[in-house]
Amino acid sequence: MDYSSQTTGADGSVRALEGTGSIVFDYLHKRAYACRSPRTDEALLRLVCARLGYAPVVFSSRDRDGQLIYHTNVMMWIGTPAAGICLDSITDPEESFIFFSLFLLCGRLILK
């Protein structure tokens, strides 16, 4: 898939969706998890997800200094029986609840 023609916003800003670590795919449940950051443009993510048939799950994740975590694979991984997640980095209570609930519904063991 080539979305390079869509990497400039209407205002001339550069949009990015880095392929290495920006998105963590849940292949079994067709979800694409992505932290909000300058390296993950939500509109591009939604285009890719629509093309692949995945549901995007976008959230904010912060390090201990309050800075956005730039790549999703820095704070989580997904395996078949389990997932490793730094839940403390999702500071918005509503986003944290939704995020955690999605994994519980999948029946995966969550390692924190």
User: Which pLDDT score is estimated for 99?
Assistant: 85
β-pairing, 82-85 with 76-78? Answer: antiparallel
pLDDT digit string, tens, across residues 16-27:
787 778 999 999
CB atoms within 10 A of CB 2: 5
CB atoms within 10 A of CB 108: 19
Q: Which residue has the higher pLDDT, 94 or 99?
A: 94
CB 44 within 8 A of CB 6: yes
Total residue length of the chain: 112
Q: What's the mean per-residue pLDDT of the chain?
A: 86
DSSP three-state, residue 54: coil
pLDDT digit string, tens, across residues 27-63:
999 999 999 988 888 988 999 999 999 999 999 999 9
